[in-house]
């Protein structure tokens, strides 16, 4: 009997916390496979831990070692080894909720082979260190609940700024990812955006499970979403943003609502890139901000207008030092309200 759900767990020097992650997904038993990808760890015994789990659970766990290629290459490796009908990435410092996991498996199990949704969506929870209240990102105001639906059943205007679809949110049909040729770049941060964005034109049928399935840990100082880390890696953010622009223009979806959602996602990516370039405070990064917007304008004038002349697009392009100060203040307010890093 084939596996229902394949988990890929990218690991890099993750010995301190990876066991908690692995233990939560192992609760799925023989219906799941857990592909632990050691991305060339150098500082600890990550691979030895993965091999121990493989030995203990030979019918469930696969331990794979590779030369360091970054998070994206670890996801690529996980996908290549995946045999389950569905595919889910869980980062090694995150985990899944036990009760919601049972519900998710029951839902996936209910789909007949050949009639599965292309994408299954669930809620995620910010497990932020020091936060008094855990923020749940849910989609019950956007998606029909517990039923199959298409892009035409969604009003893109119902998405709030913190509700766009992330890697934490999605379970993809494995064959869809393989058929669309998804391959994430090596040695690049923020490739989770590519993972959720590039397959979208191929997604026809979706299903939303209103349960808090994924637990997204925020709090490590070296974490890629830490503000200071994001500023230091801004060139990686720009690289991913340009790739998403190129991907959209090279493979525009036929469905108009899917297209509008992808434009909304690009708008957020442009604004995130712009605000961190502004916050950095360097003349060099202000030049990079101008170059990024020029890249869009030169690539496609219609897309440029859709991105630039929106509320947030205008906010991050206010002129002069005063304008940049307003942009920074707006970002701080949004961060306090949403708590995204």
**Domain 5-218 top-level CATH class:** alpha beta
- Report the range out of 208-222, 246-260, 320-334 with the highest average pLDDT: 246-260
Tell me the per-residue pLDDT of 33-42, one tens digit each, with 9 for 90 and over.
Answer: 999 999 999 9
pLDDT of residue 251 exceeding 90, the answer is yes
What local confidence, expressed as pLDDT, does residue 131 receive?
Answer: 76
Any idea where the domains of the chain sit in the sequence?
Answer: 5-218, 227-338
What local confidence, expressed as pLDDT, does residue 337 receive?
Answer: 53
pLDDT of residue 22 exceeding 60, the answer is yes
What local confidence, expressed as pLDDT, does residue 332 receive?
Answer: 67
* Greater model confidence, 15 or 218: 15
Residue 282 DSSP SS3: coil
Q: For residues 216-226, give the mean pLDDT.
A: 68
Q: For residues 208-225, give the mean pLDDT.
A: 81
Confidence bin at 129 (pLDDT 50/70/90): confident
pLDDT of residue 236 exceeding 70, the answer is yes
pLDDT of residue 218 exceeding 80, the answer is yes
What local confidence, expressed as pLDDT, does residue 70 receive?
Answer: 97
**HSE of 280 in the Cβ direction (CA atoms, 13 Å)?**
21
Residue 137 has phi, psi (to 5 degrees) of -100, 110
pLDDT of residue 323 exceeding 60, the answer is yes
Q: For residues 230-240, give the mean pLDDT.
A: 92
CA distances from 186 to 69, 159, 167 (A): 5, 31, 17
pLDDT of residue 299 exceeding 90, the answer is yes
| Average pLDDT over the chain, rounded to an integer | 92
Confidence bin at 293 (pLDDT 50/70/90): very high
Q: For residues 101-120, give the mean pLDDT.
A: 96
Confidence bin at 231 (pLDDT 50/70/90): confident
Question: Which one, of 221, 233, 214, lies nearest residue 129 by Cα?
Answer: 221
**What span, in angstroms and rounded, lies between the C-alpha atoms of 319 and 214?**
40
Confidence bin at 338 (pLDDT 50/70/90): low
Residue 171 DSSP SS3: strand
Tell me the per-residue pLDDT of 274-292, one tens digit each, with 9 for 90 and over.
Answer: 999 998 889 999 999 999 9
What local confidence, expressed as pLDDT, does residue 141 receive?
Answer: 96
Contacts of 194 (CB under 8 A, 6+ apart): 72, 182, 184, 185, 240, 243, 244, 247
Confidence bin at 334 (pLDDT 50/70/90): low
What local confidence, expressed as pLDDT, does residue 280 receive?
Answer: 87
């Amino acid at each position: 009997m084939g596996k229902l759900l394949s988990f890929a767990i990218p690991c890099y020097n993750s010995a301190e916390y990876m066991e908690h992650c692995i233990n939560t997904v192992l609760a799925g038993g023989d219906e799941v496979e857990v592909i632990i990808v050691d991305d060339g760890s150098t500082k600890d015994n990550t691979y030895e831990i993965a091999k121990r789990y493989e030995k203990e659970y030979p019918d469930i766990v696969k331990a794979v070692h590779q030369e360091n290629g970054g998070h994206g290459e670890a996801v690529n490796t996980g996908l290549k080894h995946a045999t389950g009908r569905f595919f889910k990435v869980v980062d090694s410092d995150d985990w899944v909720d036990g009760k919601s996991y049972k519900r998710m498996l029951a839902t996936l199990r209910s789909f007949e082979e050949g009639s599965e949704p292309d994408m299954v969506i669930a809620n995620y929870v910010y497990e932020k260190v020091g936060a008094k209240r855990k923020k749940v990102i849910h989609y019950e105001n956007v998606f029909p609940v517990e039923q199959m639906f298409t892009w035409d059943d969604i009003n893109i205007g119902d998405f709030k700024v913190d509700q766009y679809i992330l890697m934490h949110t999605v379970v993809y049909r494995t064959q869809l990812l393989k058929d669309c040729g998804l391959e994430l770049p090596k040695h690049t941060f923020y490739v989770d955006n590519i993972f959720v964005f590039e397959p979208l034109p191929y997604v026809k049928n979706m299903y939303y499970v209103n349960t808090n399935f994924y637990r997204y840990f925020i709090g490590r100082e070296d974490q890629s979403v830490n503000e200071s880390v994001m500023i230091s890696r801004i060139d990686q953010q720009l690289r991913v943003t340009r790739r998403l622009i190129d991907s959209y223009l090279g493979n525009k979806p036929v469905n108009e609502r899917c297209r509008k959602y992808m434009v909304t996602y690009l708008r957020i990516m442009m604004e995130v890139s712009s605000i961190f370039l502004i916050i950095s405070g360097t003349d060099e990064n202000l030049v990079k901000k101008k170059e990024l917007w020029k890249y869009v304008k030169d690539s496609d004038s219609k897309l440029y207008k859709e991105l630039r002349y929106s509320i947030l697009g205008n906010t991050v392009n206010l002129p002069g030092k005063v304008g940049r100060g307003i942009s920074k203040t707006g970002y701080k307010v949004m961060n306090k309200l949403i708590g995204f890093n």
